Structures are given as structure tokens and as C-alpha cells.
Amino acid sequence: MNSTRLVIAAAALATAAFGAMADEADGSQNVLSFQGSKTRAEVQAELGAYKKAGVNPWAIAYNPLSQFRSSKTRAQVQGEYIANRDAVAALNAEDSGSAYLAQHQVTNATRMLASQPAQSGSAE
């Protein structure tokens, strides 16, 4: 009899504890007023352009790379991979590339500050 009361008490406490942790999943559901930045006509125009483009990123057949054309040949990419794979393997080795970096001269990166690019094309 005592064990039954103990189980019932534990279940009641567990239920109360879970209820205390209840919270709304998303605070945006309580928005009382909303002021959009676009007019209905602008939104309808965007929707029309989207439908006319025929691209649906949620479609099963969506393939963003179907029109992609590489600027390099397969042989060029393979050559770059082969040239760099030893360095990548060394940098990912057990010593995190310490031995590789000790044997190879590391070029010092020049100091770069955030500024306007030299060839920005702006008329000043």
C-alpha cells in the first residue's frame, strides 16, 4: 500500500514539475499589430515574378547546380588537388602540422585594415 502511494505521489510531483517548465514556443504568436513595409501590389508582383521564374527551392526536383558551368577543366582541378593534398594531409596530421610548418617557410601575412578598395571605381 505504501509503495502505491509513493508511486502516485512521485507521478503527481513529476507532472507538476513538467507543468512548471511550460512556456510558449514562439513569442511571435502574440503579435497584436503588424506594419508591413511593402504594399499588397508589391508582394503580388514579387509572387508573380517568382512563379514566372519557375524555380521552387522547396520542390523535389530543385537543382541549383543544373546550370552551373565551371571555369576550370577536370584536369586542372585534379592537378590542383594533387599539388595540395600532401600539405593538407600534413596540416591535418597528429601534430596539427607542426612538423610541416617547421620544414616549410611560412610567408608572413601583410597587415590588412578595413578600408575602401584601391580600385573601387568611386569618383572622388
Residue 90 located in a structural domain: yes
Residue 12 located in a structural domain: no
- Residues 88, 81: Cα–Cα separation, whole Å: 10
Q: What is the reported pLDDT for 76?
A: 95
Q: What is the reported pLDDT for 109?
A: 65
- Residues 53, 67: Cα–Cα separation, whole Å: 14
Residue 122 located in a structural domain: no
Residue 91 located in a structural domain: yes
- Tell me the residue length of the chain: 124
Residue 81 located in a structural domain: yes
- Residues 54, 48: Cα–Cα separation, whole Å: 10
Q: What is the reported pLDDT for 51?
A: 85
Domain count, the chain: 1
- Which domain covers residue 93, as residue numbers? 71-101
Is the pTM higher than 0.85? The answer reads no
pLDDT in tens, the chain (124 residues): 688 888 888 888 777 766 666 666 676 777 778 788 999 999 999 999 988 887 787 888 888 888 888 899 999 999 999 989 988 898 898 988 888 888 887 676 676 667 666 665 555 4
Residue 41 located in a structural domain: no
CB 93 within 8 A of CB 99: yes
Residue 82 located in a structural domain: yes
CB 62 within 8 A of CB 55: yes
- Residues 85, 34: Cα–Cα separation, whole Å: 54
Residue 33 located in a structural domain: no
